Structure 1
Amino acid sequence: MSALATRLLVLGVVRIFEPANAYQLRRELLSWEVDRWANINPGSVYGMLTSLEKAGLVERHELIGVNGRPVSVYTTTQRGAEEFPALVDRGLRTVVDWVDIADLRAALAMAPFIPREGVVVAVEERIRALEAVLKRMSGLEAAQEQERTVPPHVAEGFGLEHALARVQLDWLRRYRALVVDGTFVFAGEEGWDWSPTADDPGWAMVRDRQHYLPQLEAPS
C-alpha cells in the first residue's frame, strides 16, 4: 500500500464530496476499486482520515445525520486545499518504482481537479525521468548480454521491467498529447459531458451535502 496514493485518494475524495461522512467516503473509494489497484483496504481509509485530521488537512464536524442520529462529517481545511495539488503533482511527476503505478493512478484520478498546465508540466517531467531510466536499463542489458555476469533467467526479469517502463512511457506520451489537445476537462474549465450512473454512491453524498451545509453554516 502506497502512503502517497492513500493520502491523495482520501484527501481528494473529501475535497470532491465535502462535507461527507467516513462511511460514504470509504464506499465511494471502494467503488473505484482502490482495494485492487492501490491495495487500500477499508480500514486504511478510516486510518488516513484520522491522520489527515491530526495533520490539519481535514476537519471533523459532529452533526446530525439525515436519519436524525449524530454523525461525524469531514471537510478540507485551507491547509488541505493547498496540500492537495502538491500531492497530485508529486504523484504525476515522481518515478520511484515504474512497476508499481499506484501513485500515478491516484494522481491521474485526481488530475482533473488541478489546472491543465500543471498536469502537462508534471507529466513531461515523468516522461523525461522514464526516458533516463530506459537509457540506463538499455546500457545495463547490453553489458549483461556481453559479459554474461547475470543468470539468463534473472536477465529476462530485467527485460520485463524494461518492457513495463517502455509501455508506461508510450502511454504517458499519448496521455500528454490528449491533455494538450483539450480532450479532458481540468480545474477552471467547463465542458464536463458525462454523469455517473444512478446507483453511484456519490449521489448519496451530493444529497446529504444539502442536509449538512446548513448545520455547518449555522452560528456555533
Structure 2
Amino acid sequence: MNSSRLFVLGMLARKGPMHGHQIRRAAQIDRTDMWADVKPGSLYGALHRMEGEGLIEAVRTEQEGRMPARTVYGITEEGRRELHAQRDEALRRVSLPPDPADLALLFTGDMAEQTLGGVLRNRREAYATQLQAMRNMREEVDAYLTDLERMTFQHTLARLETEVAWHDEVLRRLPKLIADDDRHPDRHPDRHPDRHPGRSARPDTPEGDSA
C-alpha cells in the first residue's frame, strides 16, 4: 500500500481535476505528514510516476497572472481501479509498526540515569507538541468536518495521547526500572557465577564426593 498514491488518487476522485500545487497544498493544510504518512514534498514525484503509468492524465493547463502554467491532472479509469485496490488494502491491513525506541531502551545499561531521562523527556515533549498541534488543528477545522473526518482525527489524537502517557509512566518509574535492570543476572554475569559464560554450574553433589 502506498499512502501517497492513495492520497493523490483519492483527492482527484473526490474533488475532480487538480494541479500539483493544489494537491500539495491540500496535504499541507491537512498535515498529512502527521497522521497519514504522506509527505507533501513527495507528491510531485508521485504525480509524474502515476502519469507515466496511466493512472492519471493531463487534462489542461492553467495560468494565473505571471505564475508559471500548471498542468491539471484527472484520474483515469485505470487510476480508479488502482485507488480501489490501494483503499481496500489499507482498510484491511491491521498494522502497528514497532517503535525502534523500544528495542533501543533494552540496551541503555551504559547510559547515566540523567542522560536517559533527558532523552525520554525530549521524546515525550516531541509527542506532546504533535498532540497539541493536532488538537489546535482539530479546533480550527471542526466546523468543516464530517463525522467520519472527526473520527480520523480522534484516531490520531488517541495514539498521540497514549505515547505521552507511556513516556510519563516510564519517566515516573525510571529510577526503579534502572535498578531492577541493573540487578538482572544478564547485566552483570560476573556477579552470578552460574550464569557466567564458560563457567559450569555448581555440581549437585557435595564438594569432594565422587560420582
The TM-score with structure 2 as length reference comes to 0.42
The TM-score with structure 1 as length reference comes to 0.41
